[in-house]
Amino acid sequence: MAKPLRPAITWLDQRRTEVVPPINPLWSLAFKLAGVSNTINYFRGEAEANWIKAHQPEIWNKTDKYIMLSGYLNYRMCGSFVDSIGSQVGYLPFDYKRLAWAKPGDWKWQALAVKAEWMPELVPPGTRMGQISVSASADTGIPVGTPLLAAAADKACEVIGAGCQQPHIGCLSYGTTATINTTSAKYLEVTPFIPPYPSALPDAYSTEVQIFRGYWMVNWFKEQFGHHEQHQSSKSGVAPEALFDELVNSVPPGSMGLVLQPYWSPGIKVPGPEAKGAIIGFGDVHTRAHVYRAILEGLAYALREGKERIEKRSGTPITELRISGGGSQSDAAMQLTADIFGLPTSRPHLRNLGLAPPSTPPWAWDCTATLTRRSKP
């Protein structure tokens, strides 16, 4: 049995390396002429494979397979090195347009210190990859022979789980990283040279605009300025997030001129690696309630800008929104989002694995600040 050589590196890890494999000078010239040299070099420095080779050569020299965590779990379940096309999200030699490993002459094989024979077999989402082995059954309790089906990455599953299979429905995720996604049958680079991710639907793509550290900022506010709500929560048993909703509703839309730019973690995507977070417009009228509302408004406006860019590139207007993630539990955030986007906005029954009672109807927020009950399909 193959054994892991080191712990997995999560997507939140910030290590990077300047020691990267050389690429053909012709590719370097092409990237320079296209104005994307900095983006390509950023990718190469961020790639986990390049870091391991540069800083842990003794491990790299023992490597026989290089797979995502999903691929390793599949191997443990069925004994085969196979993974879903929908799970290949990361610094890999993957051709996002063809939804397959890059062709042998592709620059990605030069930019990343991996070999073609190290990579797993890829199959479309929904494909049977194998069946639960005897050893996996002993470890998990899953019956031997249970079919193992290809799924997709977490975000792709969240998008279809929120009911966003059509390109006119925008999926907003209010999680640690805030995102807006749509599902498209066409390959669309919303940001030039930044590919869409594979969808959980076969032969489809998930366009995405990210706001790094998105709803992480809500947790930051809670830790730095939410001591009163946390204390009240411990006394009353009411969740602190519900008390934060009261803060939002105590302040008028626009936070009386307080504006937040939500780029608190530099990234390569829009607006660029030079972007920094800021809160501007302070006056003597502002309180921490204004700061909290400004956080939610800043995130919503940044995602609305992402919506407009997706519409421009795709030619398809987004006419409704579905919101998931921890932030979707806030009624105030839902209504604020509906008002800023000017679109009907709803959330699924199930969010963060919490089960709503069967009798609970889905809720929808319209863009006129009225809470409405959505009719059942």
Q: What is the DSSP string of 221-245?
A: HHHHH-HHHHHHHHHH---HHHHHH
Q: Is 351 part of any domain? A: yes
Whether residues 143 and 204 share a domain: the answer is no
Q: Is residue 231 part of a domain?
A: yes
Residues 75 and 199 in one domain: no
Distance in angstroms (rounded) separating the CA atoms of residues 358 and 349: 9
Asked if 351 and 333 count as a contact pair (C-beta separation under 8 A), the reply is: no
Q: 2 to each of 76, 121, 269, how far by Cα in Å?
A: 9, 16, 37
**Pair (221, 336) in one structural domain:** yes
Q: Residue 120 — φ and ψ, nearest 5°?
A: -80, 165
Query: 273 is in which domain, residue-wise?
Result: 152-377
236 within some domain: yes
Cα 372 from Cα 79, distance rounded (Å) = 50
pLDDT at 10: 86
190 and 134 both lie in a single domain: no
Look at residue 327 in the predicted model and tell me its pLDDT: 86
- Amino acid in the structure at residue 312: K
Distance set, CA 10 to CA 6, 94, 106, 189, 270 (Å): 12, 19, 26, 25, 23
Note down pLDDT in tens along the chain; length 377 residues: 788 999 999 887 889 999 999 999 999 999 899 888 888 888 899 999 999 999 999 999 999 999 999 999 999 999 999 999 999 998 999 999 999 999 999 999 999 999 999 999 999 999 999 999 999 999 999 999 999 999 999 899 999 989 999 999 999 999 888 999 999 999 999 987 789 999 999 999 999 998 888 888 988 998 999 999 989 988 998 888 788 999 999 999 999 999 999 888 755 455 555 678 899 999 999 999 999 999 999 999 999 999 999 999 999 999 999 999 888 888 899 999 999 999 999 987 665 443 333 333 344 444 433 233 333 33
Would 270 be classed as within a structural domain?
A: yes
Count CB atoms within 10 A of the CB of residue 7: 6
Is 180 among the domain residues? yes
Confidence at residue 270, expressed as pLDDT on a 0 to 100 scale = 52
3-class DSSP state for residue 207?
strand
Three-state secondary-structure class, residue 296 = helix
165 and 70 in one domain?
no
Domain stop point among 132, 149, 166 = 149
pLDDT for 370 equals 28
Distance between CA atoms of residues 62 and 69, nearest Å: 18
Both 158 and 145 in a single domain? no
Domain identity same for 140 and 163: no
Assign residue 290 the CATH number of its domain: 3.30.420.40
Whether residue 270 sits in one domain with residue 135 = no
Whether the upstream peptide bond of residue 167 has omega within 30° of 0, thus cis, is: no
Residue that finishes a domain, picked among 149, 179, 199? 149
Q: Is residue 5 part of a domain?
A: no
* Predicted local confidence at residue 202, as pLDDT: 92
115, 213: one domain: no
Domain final residue pick, 85, 116, 149: 149
Q: Do 145 and 183 fall into the same domain?
A: no
DSSP 185: S
14 belongs to a structural domain: no
Quote the tokens at residue 203: 């032969």
R_g over Cα of the chain: 23
Looking at the structure, do residues 339 and 353 belong to the same domain, yes or no? yes
Same domain, 30 and 56: yes
Kind of pairing, strands 82-84 and 121-123? Answer: parallel
The whole-angstrom separation of Cα 36 and Cα 30 is 9
- Report pLDDT for 11: 80
Q: How many domains does the chain have?
A: 2
Q: Which amino acid is at 192?
A: P
13 within a domain of the structure (yes/no): no
Q: Record the pTM.
A: 0.82
* Residue 261, SS3 per DSSP: strand
Distance CA 263, CA 274 (A): 9
